[in-house]
Structure 1
Amino acid sequence: MSRIMFVSADAGGNLPPALALARTLAAHGHEVAIAGSPRQSTRVGDVAFRSLPALADWPDPTAPCSAVATVRKYLRLAASRRIAADAAAAARDWAADAVVVDCMMPSSAQAVHESGKRTAILFHTLLSYWTGPWAHGPIGGLARLAGTDAVRAWSQADARLVTTVRELDSGSLPETSWIGTTESGVAAMPAEPPLVLVSFSSIFYPGQAAAYRNVIAALGTLPVRAIVTIGAGESIGGETPPNVEVRGYADHSQLMPGAALVITHGGHSTTLKALAHGIPVLVVPMYFPVDHPIIGRSVEQAAVGAVVSHKARPAEFAAAIAGLLGDPARAVAARALGERIRATDAAESAARIIAGLAPSSNAVESR
């Protein structure tokens, strides 16, 4: 069997897909380690962990952060030579046979690849976001000025894995595998009155509290039940109608099987989890430099949901919610997409590709 290393940093939703792949590889007998920021060590469970010294001061991704500070933080992750050198050293010292590098770390991917290691790039949201707004936006542009061309670094790797549904993604790179989402679900069976689940980002973006209040006000005018999760310790103010329950935290896996609609900011994880249950999605993009808008457009174009501005007033939210709940065509399309998602095993598909990269690999056998 082979030694597979994952190189990453704690940016929130990027770690669960990597962990799903790592645990599947370990279940097949491969030795697996994750190298990244120290904060990740508490989230990887039974997977071996190696700390990258250059990421010792990597901040909590949920902490409030200005737009300028956010760009600076992720530019460092993309283009830092110190982080890249640490990643290459970790792979060398651990004697990794193959290395899977987070797409947000192209300089690290390039350094690991140039050190002679077989590499794969892990994209944890739509490829069209990474090759579009990310590569051509502030982070990708500044990274090029600093000497790192992300698209070139990604293209030089031996494999590219995208943890999303191909039909939602218009992106393209050579020899890229869309393995499907690592989110799981069961066929939702909503009851009457319909349950609406509302969950925005754990990173509290500007305007998010107001969006919560306006969505809650809208739900109060409709014949629905609603559960709104706002994050532990957060407060949004405003009144709560009797048909709406506001929680700090809730397990979405317990709620989605009974939901008729999910309202989310367009984060890849929550959106794909809803779609894995066959539930239509109302996307309320919170922050335009990230993937929220492009995920919203993809959902809308696939006719499995709709998009509304986070600045919408209660009447606009109510119209959008009622429109989706009353649209049988979108409900049918969402259920069909959910069936296709549940018919795939992203982690198994990725494990075969990653194991096949390792020179000493015994490829993952089909079950």
Structure 2
Amino acid sequence: MQQASIDKEEHNRRQAELFNKKTKDFSAPLPPEITERQQRIVDVVPDLGPGSRVMDVGSGTGCLIPHMHQTGIQDILAVDLAEDLLAKAREQYGTSSTLGNDHGFRTWVGDVESVPAYQGPFDVAFFNAVFGNVYDQREALLRTSLLLRPGGHIVISHPLGRAWHERLREGDAEIVPHALPDRPTLERLITDLPLRLRSFQDDPDLYLTLLQACASPVPPAYLIQGRPLELEGEVVAGFGRGSSRMGVPTANIAPGPLAAKLEGLPLGVYFGWAQLDAGPEQPEEDSAVHKMAMNIGRRPSIEDGTDITVEVHILHSFAASDFRGRQLRVVVGGFIRPEMRFGSLDELIARIKSDVGIAKAQLDLPEHQLCKAHEMFVR
């Protein structure tokens, strides 16, 4: 769900240009009925208080911030494309520093996809009167979910309701490219994201949705149910990026022979166990069963990433480095996250390291230890 007519950079530029011109309008006092609904928007999140860290996406001049302060919240990151709006917010609420570990009011000029991990993790992210304006709604939710603490929340709201927002969109679909999703649309939007729909309110004068990040870093729907997924194939030449550029060596399996098993699987990162037939000349431990993290996807962060690849990162230090032509067996235990595009190589590497950490932790659980002794593996 993204705006196809222009790219994201141009979309964001136009948003910033328009809303910077509206600083005076957004600084005007709001009617009492609107401020009452804004308090309800903040209050929908359970257990918020002085220790909570909040991200306010599309914060503008900070209309939700007084209501956060009433709840005791002080640690707030205001995110907006319009620098002039944020400057007005800083005049009113002051600033701490740009350091993510400093409590207080901070601002970030950009969209939510540009917010670095060090600014979080957040207990809640608010999208108030802005979700229809983002370039790609699914990508915004995905990136936000990765900035949340396990069990954190996302609030999507509009204090004038979905019908009012739709009339606004009809008047200027370039600035407001998306409708606020109805319940079925929202459920489809989060199908393969680590989020659950907790409440949905679609009244004529208030749109208010509460999503919650899964308490486990692994989305429950993608824990492999029943018999684990088994993959086996010959190691083929990759693209040389895993080791040379990212320091994350992978063994690629040709996806063609696995087409039937891969059909219908979400593209993304999985975890499980792997056994490489390293050969008799290699140390015995190299042919043992080891933890692994696996990517099935098109490598969207790589410029020529178009074809499906199956890249297995075996969490073991091998004596040799080239295993082309050797057999690799994989038992998949679960799903970590959907495939996503990163803004830089450093960001990609940081996320891969996080994925590896999640894989290691999950595979230490008793239910996943059982798969290490799977009948597929050669003893």
Alignment TM-score > 0.5, same fold: no
**Bigger relative CO (Cα 8 Å, ≥ 6 apart):** 1
Give TM-score, length-normalised by structure 1: 0.28
Asked which structure has the greater CA Rg, the reply is 2
Going by fraction, where is strand more abundant, 1 or 2? 2
Going by fraction, where is helix more abundant, 1 or 2? 1
